[in-house]
Amino acid sequence: MMYKKYFFIMLGTITILYLGPVSADNLKMPMKFKYDSQPTKVLQTYPLGTLNRMAVFSHHGKADKEVTLPNGRGGWVYDVSMYMLPKIYYKPNGEKKVVQERQKSNRNQMYILVFGQDGNVMDVIYQDKSTGLSALQLQYQRMMKE
């Protein structure tokens, strides 16, 4: 009787270990949010409705801010107005050291991930000082052209 219990526990463990990585590999991961990426390309290719909060967190990292949007949906804000700039420092012994430092640009760029009730990303909004774009809008326009 005891052997049956251990058999099913082992069978369940093997199944989870086998199927766990397989399901993660099937997710199409989007482009990273970067200072120099083209917002329209990022938004047109973002896989809406497939990524949950855990997948987004593991791919993009911790959000800079969590917000509640006017429609009541939750959102994560990623500020990409920072860029890396190499700076040269000299150690006391004269050795040169190049360090990448984050610099704030004068462009205020951000991506806002909008989550649906099921916890999946239902829209991505790009915003800077003069532009506001939506992944739903761009993907719909592209679909209508095809």
Cβ-count burial of 43 within 10 angstroms (0-12 exposed, 13-18 middle, 19+ buried)? buried
User: What's the pLDDT score for residue 6?
Assistant: 66
Q: Check whether 8 has a pLDDT greater than 80.
A: no
Domain ranges (residues) in the chain: 28-145
- Reported as a single tens digit per residue, the pLDDT across 83-113 is 677 889 999 999 999 988 877 766 678 889 9
pTM of the predicted protein model: 0.66
Residues 66-76 have pLDDT tens digits of: 999 998 999 99
Tens-digit pLDDT profile for residues 10-30? 666 666 655 554 444 456 677
pLDDT at 46: 87
CB of 48 closer than 8 Å to CB of 136:
yes
pLDDT value at position 18?
Answer: 58
Report, as an integer, the average pLDDT of 114-121. 91
Cβ pair 28, 50 in contact under 8 A:
yes
